Amino acid sequence: MMDPLHIAQDALVPNGTPITKALPPNYVLPSGTWWIGPYIGVGTVRGTWKGADADALREAEQWRSTAQAGLLVGRDWRSGWGVSAGLGLARVRSAFHHEDATEWSSVVDVDTTWGTTMHTSGDILYSWQIDSLTEELPSGFVRKDARNLYTAIQVPVLLSWHADARRLRYGAFGGITAWVPAQRRGLTLVRSQQDIPPTTLALQDPKVNDRFSTQVHGVAGLSVGYTIIEQLSAYAEPMISAPLFSFDGGSAPWLTRPILQFRIQYELRSQGH
């Protein structure tokens, strides 16, 4: 049988005795995290033209596909809300088909108007008036085909919300993107005179520069992610981008782009209270 353990009186710490041993610091959760993330995306295009010769351009150009890539920098808070901004490039492809008139024929359209006048003698006098109109009509055609490529700089500013389910993350985002045309290659249509149909012209020609001004696009999408390690996660994000307004307000291609975007997010640093 073991004797009970007695605590020596000198082992007791008197009340009010200061503790000289340092206490471990309390763990403070960060108020938010900064992150950086590259993204790529592919999708389709639904496009239409506005302004001069819009009908002819809609008939000649069929929109095909789009792709984009860039880099986002953002900050997420413990509430699930976050903001981000970035810089990227977008490309849009289309197929162009048009028949240019190569020969013109002059056609004279004669219109004769007859009239009658009663003479004082009782006889009927007949008179006529002849009007003629000369028109230039195409009599020969050549088919022009091209694969058009448009490149634009994107500057997105986004608001997002995410929640966690173990390693899974889910949420949504929305915002605006500045769409700044940068390069273009292929063919388009211009009208040299008001009374003849439009003809093809290279997209690179300065005559069509005013068609491609800066636009603001609205962006909205869903986000599904997976946390690979504590600081690294990957996301798949179906989204849609559509134009809201153009700064010149005139001729421009308006491109609605459903996109599937893939994004990697890496946490840079965190801050606590």
Q: How far apart are CA 245 and CA 254, in angstroms?
A: 9
- Give domain status of residue 183, yes or no: yes
DSSP state, 51? S
- Give domain status of residue 212, yes or no: yes
pLDDT of residue 123: 67
Q: How far apart are CA 152 and CA 252, in angstroms?
A: 13
- Give domain status of residue 253, yes or no: yes
- Give domain status of residue 17, yes or no: no
pLDDT of residue 101: 67
Q: How far apart are CA 251 and CA 239, in angstroms?
A: 26
- Give domain status of residue 158, yes or no: yes
pLDDT of residue 144: 85
Secondary structure percentages of the chain, helix, strand, coil, to 5: 5, 70, 25
- Give domain status of residue 111, yes or no: no
> Partners of 167 in the beta sheet?
none
pTM above 0.85, yes or no: no
Tens of pLDDT along the chain (273 residues) come to 455 555 555 545 555 555 555 555 555 556 889 999 999 999 999 999 987 788 889 999 999 999 999 999 999 999 999 999 999 999 999 999 988 766 545 555 656 676 677 767 666 766 666 666 666 555 556 888 899 999 999 999 999 999 999 999 999 999 999 999 999 999 999 887 776 778 899 999 998 888 899 999 999 999 999 999 989 999 999 999 999 998 875 678 999 999 999 999 999 864 444
Task: Count up the domains in the chain and report the number.
Answer: 1
> Cβ(259)–Cβ(222) under 8 Å?
no
- Give domain status of residue 55, yes or no: yes
pLDDT of residue 214: 93
pLDDT of residue 271: 47
**What CATH code is carried by the domain that includes residue 195?**
2.40.160.20
pLDDT of residue 50: 85
- Give domain status of residue 112, yes or no: no
Enclosing domain of residue 238: 30-100+143-272
- For residue 60, the surrounding DSSP H or E stretch is helix 54-60
* CA proximity to 147, closest of 191, 91, 101, 199: 91
Q: How far apart are CA 202 and CA 182, in angstroms?
A: 15
